[in-house]
Chain A
């Protein structure tokens, strides 16, 4: 167990370093940062001065080490556009995005698990096919379009829910549905596959032979086994939510990290862009690591192999 943990940690750290190299290349090599920082009216001499002032004239490895040092001390640079520190801009928007992602993943799970169990309980019937169709549809519907259609139906026609902003919980309903629908199919398919295996297993036959209640066999004794892989996929999908939030936040004008990212992309505000890419990637890495650990901890077979 300890060995496994250590191995995962080393890989995760190596991946994180690689990602930081990529974001460094994006922000320091792919574009000339001095030109980006300089005002439009700057002369070549001004740019050369900026280059020297910010240290952009140092060798790239040295610049990278400096960049790494900045990241570790949470200095993510300042926005070209507003001049604000990037770390602060992101930090004040993280709660909104985190809230949206949590709501969305809960919504996705609340749909995916019962539907997956239902489909597995009646394999190859109409019910199963209907669930499968739902999954195929969920995968095929782009979430920004789902967002627009939800706005049209519930915001404009029925006028039940607000369509932009994030000032109340009601504002989160439509974005949650739009974003959650996107994560639902994969979770549902995995739940279904897991439950199919479980329901055909010897131990479920034992539970049935012992006369345990069918609902308890399904949801307590069976689902506990089928959920192990679903939990790790949930962590991964949660990472996708963070990435997907850029689209949904721009559709619903929710001022979270995704919205900030969209604004920065449109205006090529490189320090903000590279910081968001770096942070979301790090969140991915941590989440994947967490998924592995949760899985190992949840599964008594792995846990006791410590």
Chain B
């Protein structure tokens, strides 16, 4: 682990209790992130990407259990009796942004007190100092008339503004990492781009690491340095963003890219490509490739044993025994 490594998570597993038994939502995910780097975690809903993010801050829904063989943040181990450690990370060294700006803010408190509470909890100091920082950050995230906004309640703000407030809140304590869980999904398309640009701008300006969780490859392609594609609770492909977009190797990644509306590839009016089939049940998952049922390149050994994640060039891994040829170009 180099001194530049900010986050290092190894073999993260999350199980959720369900009526028909424990569901393995995340199955052995490993992540690493350098300072100032942006990782995009991509996958369809239910693939375990949000559970991965939530388990980093121990925010899983009650009943869910997370285990990992290593969890190091900024060179310090957070595993073991890590609960206290994680609490100290929350809001202080890791900021989090959620999907639903409409419900993620407390409806009965003005946004000002919600912002200053975070700062004073971790950094102490006077309310006046915290307010000053809140005003500065609100302006920084593009909210005009920030000092007056502090007294406003969430319902008085639009969805886009609320998401900006969330970003400001995540930034209150100058965290070295921001986790954004589908930060633009609930917003209008025009606002989505603004928020994404803001996030990209913020992480450059503050030198903050960013984990961007989304179902939309288009979103990460603009912002992320590297991508981890998740399917059925596992990382199936990971590597530099440009490389993966140019030459996806895992058939699922290929499918995801194929379903992306891209004017240069698709004729106007042509239907978008979709991946046929459904995700296997993660209650008692089979010892086989989870994508085998939907895969066009499936081989007999794909269903014989679950493939391991293997190195595929520098900084690149895939979980596939019969990947697309390396020179695949549309």
A residues with CB within 8 A of B: 201-203, 205-213, 216, 221, 224-225, 228, 298-301, 304
Contact = CB atoms under 8 A, between A and B. Distances in A.
B100 A211 contact: no
Given A224-B108, A224-B109, A211 B87 contact: yes
A169 B70 CA distance: 62
B108 A300 contact: yes
Contacts of B204: none
Contacts, number: 79
B104 A205 contact: yes
Given A205-B59, A209-B59, A301-B107, 11 more contacts: A202-B98, A203-B104, A203-B105, A206-B105, A206-B166, A208-B57, A210-B118, A211-B88, A211-B90, A212-B91, A304-B155
Interface string B101-116: 0011111111000000
A33 B158 CA distance: 65
Contacts of B170: 210
Contact of B107 (A207, A213, A216, A225): A225
Contacts of B92: 211
Contacts of A209: 57, 59, 90-91, 96, 98
28 contacts: A201-B103, A203-B104, A203-B105, A203-B107, A206-B98, A207-B106, A208-B57, A208-B90, A209-B57, A209-B90, A209-B91, A210-B91, A210-B170, A211-B88, A211-B90, A212-B91, A212-B118, A212-B121, A216-B117, A221-B117, A224-B109, A228-B108, A298-B108, A299-B108, A300-B108, A300-B155, A301-B153, A304-B156
Contacts of B235: none
Interface in B128-172: 153, 155-156, 166, 169-170, 172
A205 to B, nearest CB: 6
B240 interface: no
Given A211-B87, A211-B89, A300-B153, A202 B107 contact: no
A206 B107 contact: no
Contacts of A298: 108
Given A211-B90, A211-B118, A213-B121, A206 B155 contact: no
> Range of interface residues on chain B?
20 to 34
Contact of A301 (B88, B110, B122, B155): B155
A225 B153 CA distance: 13
Name the residue among B59, B87, B106, B107 with the largest chain A CB count within 10 angstroms: B106
B100 A202 contact: yes
A301 to B, nearest CB: 5
Given A201-B103, A202-B98, A212 B156 contact: no
Interface string B57-99: 1010000000000000000000000000001111110011010
Nearest to B92: A211
Contacts of A228: 108
Contacts of A216: 117, 121
A52 B95 CA distance: 84
A228 B156 CA distance: 19
Contacts of B155: 300-301, 304
B59 to A, nearest CB: 6
B278 to A, nearest CB: 28
Contact of A225 (B57, B90, B100, B106): B106
A71 to B, nearest CB: 40
Given A203-B103, A301-B153, A225 B121 contact: no
Contacts of B118: 210-212
Name the residue among A205, A206, A304 with the largest chain B CB count within 10 angstroms: A206
Nearest to B57: A209
A200 to B, nearest CB: 8
Contacts of A205: 59, 98, 104
A201 B61 CA distance: 11
Contacts of A301: 107, 153, 155
B104 A202 contact: yes
Nearest to A123: B62
Contacts of B57: 208-209
A232 to B, nearest CB: 15
A207 B105 CA distance: 8
A39 B118 CA distance: 76
A206 B106 contact: yes
